[in-house]
Amino acid sequence: MRFDVVTLFPELFVPFLSVGITRRAFESGQVDVHLSNPREFASGNYRRVDDRPFGGGPGMVMMAQPLEQTLVHIRAQRHDTAPVVLFSPIGQRLDHAQVQRWSAGSGAILLCGRYEGIDQRFIDTQVNQQISLGDFVLSGGEVPAMALLDAVARLQPGVLSDADSHAMDSFNPALDGLLDCPHYTRPEEWAGQRVPEVLLSGNHAHIERWRRDQRLQLTAQHRPDLLAVARSAGLLTEQDEAVLAQNI
């Protein structure tokens, strides 16, 4: 798959693409990321990419022309009709189901906005979909674009270890739908706190039951909405319900 990222700050992506478990996916081209800077396609000596808003008001607006020229350049390299995705606070919130769809597709053109926004005429004619990260204010679309690329790269075959692939299921309601359990590593006692004894017992049945109970209780406490989804999907056993009833 190929993702073209349109950004005024391509340098932000370089370290992101070169570290961690996703590095191999990006460097091998399994998830092929190309960066384009609209400034290179802006006209005039000053190569302006933004201008003042018609009607007045604070801030600047990204001009349509440099974005359009960037798209022409990208479309000439891609021999497909990849959708243009704009990261924007008015978009649909990104979730696991969407990430799964993107990770099974052939890519997209990811447009990162800066300043107050983008000339609406460009959005109306060129943008297919808008995606938000949630109801809080960022400075631009670069961090959301990296979030999507990171989540998509993790789902590529061979990127995650078996353990991680399994843990990932906690956001997949079709498989499980519960939050992850707490994790502990050496030493057995740290700052006066011992690791739960069951994890040191070597009794795998007990350990599995303890982890399931932790996941049920954590989900009930922190994400009752996810617990309700798991319940209506028939993913809770009688024993699960008994544990939950005991811990209200």
Q: Contact residues for ligand 9D3 (CB under 6 A)? A: 87-89, 113, 116-117, 132-134, 136-141, 144
The total of other beta-carbon atoms located within 10 Å of residue 134's CB is: 9
Q: What is the C-alpha to C-alpha distance for residues 177 and 207, in angstroms, rounded to an integer?
A: 20
240: annotated active-site residue: no
Q: Which is nearer to ligand 9D3, 86 or 243 (CB)?
A: 86
Is residue 40 among the annotated active site residues?
A: no
85 close to 130: Cβ distance less than 8 angstroms: yes
Nearest CA to 126 out of 86, 87, 92 is that of: 86
Q: Which one, 57 or 192, has the nearer CB to ligand 9D3?
A: 57
CB of 57 to ligand 9D3, least distance (A): 9
**Which one, 53 or 173, has the nearer CB to ligand 9D3?**
53
* CB closer to ligand 9D3 out of 76 and 137: 137
Residue in 10, 48, 75, 169 annotated catalytic: 169
Task: Based on the residue annotation, tell me whether 23 is a catalytic residue of this protein.
Answer: no
Please pick, among 119, 154, 213, 215, the residue that the annotation labels catalytic: 154
Least separation, in Å, of the C-beta of 117 and ligand 9D3?
Answer: 5
What's the CA gap between 99 and 80, in Å, rounded?
A: 20
CA angle 93, 162, 104 (to 5 degrees): 40
* Exposed/middle/buried for residue 70 (C-beta within 10 Å: 0-12, 13-18, 19+): buried
Report, in Å, the least distance between residue 137 CB and ligand 9D3: 5
- Catalytic site residues? 89, 116, 154, 169
